[in-house]
């Protein structure tokens, strides 16, 4: 078995991180969709008819926290994109 060193290709500094950003955004978007799909399937299969008032309050708090997490998750993608754009601009004008 032959072991080869991986040679890092030299790229244009202005394109630094763009390929990685696209991969991260696509992967993260797919994971968010899968998570939201799983959440709706699990939430729809829980019968809340026999819950007490306290259990209903707890259930509502948990589901609202999960939806809040998905809302914050979408902000992460915006921050990622903005950070790479700022990085590309800074590298391009050095």
Task: Using a cut of 0.85, tell me whether the model's pTM lies above it.
Answer: no
Per-residue pLDDT of 6-60, as tens digits, reads: 555 566 655 666 777 888 888 988 999 999 999 999 988 988 889 999 999 999 9
SS3 52: coil
Long-range contacts from 37-43, C-beta under 8 angstroms, 24+ separation = 39/66, 39/70
Domain positions in the chain are: 66-94
Structure tokens of 25?
């955004």
């Amino acid at each position: 078995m032959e072991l080869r060193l991986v040679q890092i290709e030299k790229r244009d500094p202005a394109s630094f991180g763009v390929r990685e950003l696209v991969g991260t955004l696509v992967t993260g978007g797919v994971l968010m969709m899968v998570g939201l799909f799983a959440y709706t399937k699990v939430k729809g299969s829980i019968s809340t008819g026999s819950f007490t008032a306290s259990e209903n309050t707890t259930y509502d708090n948990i589901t609202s926290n999960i939806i809040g997490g998905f809302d914050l998750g979408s902000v992460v993608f915006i921050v990622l994109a903005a950070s790479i754009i700022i990085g590309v601009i800074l590298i391009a004008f050095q």
